[in-house]
Amino acid sequence: MDLFMSAPRGTRDILSPEVEKWHYLEDQIRKYCRLYAYSEIRPPIFEHTELFLRGVGETTDIVQKEMYSFQDRAERWLTLRPEATASTVRAYLENKLYAQPQPVKLYYMGPMFRYDRPQAGRYRQFYQFGVEVIGAGEPAADAEVILLAVHLFAHLGLKNLEVHLNSIGCPACRGAYRAKLLDYLSQHIEGLCRDCQARYQHNPLRVLDCKQEGCRGIAQGAPEFGAYLCAECKEHFAQVQAYLGDLGVKYQLNPSLVRGLDYYTKTVFEIISRELGAQGTICGGGRYDGLVEECGGQPTPGVGFALGMERLLLTLENSGIELPGLEPLDVFVASIGAGVQGPAFGILYELRRHSIRADKDYLGRSLKAQMKQAHRYGAPFVILVGEEELARDVVILREMATGKQAEVPLGEISQRILALMGGMEDER
RNA sequence: GUGAAUGUAGCUCAGCCGGUAGAGCACCAGAUUGUGGCUCUGGGAGUCGCGGGUUCGAGUCCCGUCAUUCACCCCA
């Protein structure tokens, strides 16, 4: 196939019957956001590149090698958003949301873009749902955000998800810990893998998360961050855990959970599925108390998460959870003979005006073929429009399940079907 | 960015030591001309991912390329 005839690498088309599952998920997500009193924000898909450099952090993998950046005709540097927290914070400042009652609780849903090697559960254009609570530094806000995700997952029927929790402290205590860690690692530098020798330079905390045999051994002996958290961070983390514990949210402490974005402070968490292989993180997030200030605002705390829609769908599928698919048709209108096309089309419109989901054949096919089509669409009723009947101002109404047919006057079609559909509702 | 596997009809796949492509499902049509689900019969379909090489001849061997998948990396 010619290159231009296939979607770019790491992108794809989402079609029925999959798209109906997306609709369902999106509906449930909106329902839960409403329940938790979050309002939607729809930031632009691209932003000034500078926003991500400052917000996400110059040393992160996202900024260094995964951004889709380009210049527009006026030579502005723009970037397709790789995540939406930076945009949300920008919008918070630009729209002066700090002047509204705090905290501001927002959610977003939409495509993100990262130039990365595609893999199961990893795309270059992928969809995230995320929430942000800006203006609340209390541990309860951390707990609420985690609870929202956990609650939603439970509602969708997911079990056996792991909530991993850690605290990476504030700039003050992280600095102190970082110094200790660097000191320790410098004594074992020759034992680290090549990647970790690089991490030692720009993000030593990540060494703790390395999966290489040698690095793991060294990480085992590294000083524990927990011991270096300042009093405030320690107390904050303890309260987050207390809230979650009181609500019965199961979680596990994971000291090696670091996360790759620069803006995180204090609480970080991931929700992981074992059904996904290597890309097991469905949901990741944490607190970012320095980000608003970094973007030019007053010091303002924030906490949130992002959830990968494709990974969520994949986990649901691998867990054997069936999501609602394509809705069946209510009525199929079959026409017999070319002369009745006009009246058949009129009846179709009449049904639709009564909110009855209906369709007909458009290829001039045989009645037999039309019946097959009606069956395939799952229509419980078929209206047969024939010349003989039309001459007497009636049509035939066929109930597919039983094969029973009856003549119905033209003017009573919709009411008759609505009555029958109501009857079926009652039986459920 | 690194390593590996895969790439044949819409879908799932078969195709032996190289000899000019097959099955099932799906789709379409028919089985006394105005009726679905079962059955039967027939039909349309593929430049064997793309490009090059070896060979008398390549889906089958070699190289490149693109894509998918898996692992690394990273994260959603």
A73-77, A207-211, A317-321, A351-355: least confident range: A207-211
Residue A221 has pLDDT above 50, yes or no: yes
Q: What is the mean pLDDT of residues A128-147?
A: 98
Split at pLDDT 50, 70, 90, the class of A396 is very high
- As a dihedral over the C-alpha atoms of residue A273, residue A106, residue A80, residue A77, rounded to 10 degrees, the angle is -140
**DSSP state, residue A101:** S
Integer-rounded Cα radius of gyration of chain A? 28
pLDDT at residue A386 in the model: 94
- Nearest nucleotide, C1' to the C-alpha of A336? B34
- Nearest nucleotide, C1' to the C-alpha of A114? B75
Nucleotides of B under 7 A from a protein CB: 1-3, 27-30, 34-37, 49-50, 66-76
Instruction: Report which of residues A275 and A130 the model is more confident about.
Output: A130
| Average pLDDT along chain A | 91
A46-50, A187-191, A397-401: least confident range: A187-191
pLDDT tens track for A16-46: 888 999 999 999 999 999 999 999 999 999 9
- Nearest nucleotide, C1' to the C-alpha of A387? B34
Q: What is the mean pLDDT of residues A311-315?
A: 93
- Nearest nucleotide, C1' to the C-alpha of A367? B35
Percent of chain A whose pLDDT exceeds 70 = 98
Instruction: Report which of residues A341 and A427 the model is more confident about.
Output: A341
Q: What gap in Å lies between CA A268 and CA A303, rounded to an integer?
A: 9
pTM equals 0.92
pLDDT at residue A428 in the model: 39
Q: What is the DSSP string of A349-367?
A: HHHHHTT--EEE-SS---H
pLDDT at residue A3 in the model: 62
Spacing of A59 CA from B3 C1' in Å: 26
Q: 3-class SS at A155?
A: helix
* CA neighbor of A83 nearest in space, from A60, A104, A59: A60
- Nearest nucleotide, C1' to the C-alpha of A116? B74
pLDDT at residue A426 in the model: 46
Spacing of A336 CA from B66 C1' in Å: 50
**What ipTM was predicted for this assembly?**
0.89
pLDDT tens track for A237-276: 999 999 999 999 999 999 888 887 888 999 999 999 988 8
Q: What is the mean pLDDT of residues A327-338?
A: 91
Angle at CA of residue A295, ends A293 and A297, nearest 5°: 45
A27-41, A209-223, A361-375: least confident range: A209-223
Q: What gap in Å lies between CA A126 and CA A109, rounded to an integer?
A: 11
Cβ-contact A276, A120 below 8 angstroms: yes
Spacing of A176 CA from B76 C1' in Å: 31
pLDDT at residue A128 in the model: 97
Spacing of A4 CA from B53 C1' in Å: 27
Q: What gap in Å lies between CA A314 and CA A285, rounded to an integer?
A: 20
Spacing of A357 CA from B32 C1' in Å: 36
